[in-house]
Amino acid sequence: MRLLNPDATRERPRAILFDLDDTLYAYRQPHERAMAAVRIKVERSLRVSAPQFDEAFGQARKAVKAALGETASAHSRLLYFQRTIEILGLSSQPAMALDLEQTYWRTLLTTARLYPGAEDTLIELRAAGLPLALVTDLTAQIQFRKLIYFGIDRYFDVVVTSEETGVDKVGLRPFEAAAAKLGITRQDRVWFIGDAECDVVASKQVLNAATFQKVHDRSGHNQLHEGIDGTFHAFADFRDWARGIVGPA
């Protein structure tokens, strides 16, 4: 645990907001395994090589994001796979696009794990009487599935997805929606825990939040986002430090 702005973190918060992907669980390795499973299915079903698929998928992802901007649907694996199939010169094939999407998410969920100490931290913060909110990009269905799969849905008083608000967190509205649901304002002390720079900027702009970055290596150097008030690698370290501010469970 490393405090960069101690003055911003001394006061007990009225609420704590969390990001989900790459904050409460590691995304990259499960994503890579999910894509490997998709490649196998594409090779068997469409007779398309992995390099061909990867090139088409990259083009498809870029095209979808360019068309849809900073919205939940811009993250849709279903749209990525539909466009990939079309770029490969095949018909849209809705059944195959759905099959690839289900293969992707099924593999990701079965291989993803919460970071050690993440659930214990949520439990302890809840027991200390703090309202918890999850503010996350992507569509509601898959984010809800993740919460239920990990067994952490019951810890959050409020969940806001970018599908609900029509724009990703960088567009501010998800944080505005979370604040409205929690009944908090910029005058209230709020903590936000995430891994992405855009989330830090948005949470500070909307809520004047004290921001904590979950870093993915122990040094944390060379990847700290501007405006971060504290960093941690292990949730156990954050939990132990937070006890001194929020009080024991």
Report, as residue numbers or ranges, the catalytic residues.
19, 21
What is d(CA 53, CA 96) in angstroms, rounded to the nearest whole number?
14
Least Cα distance to 173 among 192, 183, 160, 157 occurs for 160
C-alpha distances out from residue 121 to 31, 65, 168, 192, Å: 25, 34, 26, 14
Distance CA 4, CA 227 (A): 9
The residues near 4 (Cβ < 8 Å, ≥ 6 apart) are 224, 228, 229, 230, 231
Radius of gyration from C-alpha coordinates of the chain? 19
Angle at 195 between CA 189 and CA 197, to 5 degrees: 80
Query: Minimal CA–CA distance to 179: which of 53, 15, 37, 45?
Result: 15
Alpha carbon distance 176, 158 (integer Å)? 12
Look at residues 83, 97, 117 and name the one whose alpha carbon lies nearest to residue 41: 97
- Counting every residue, how long is the chain? 249
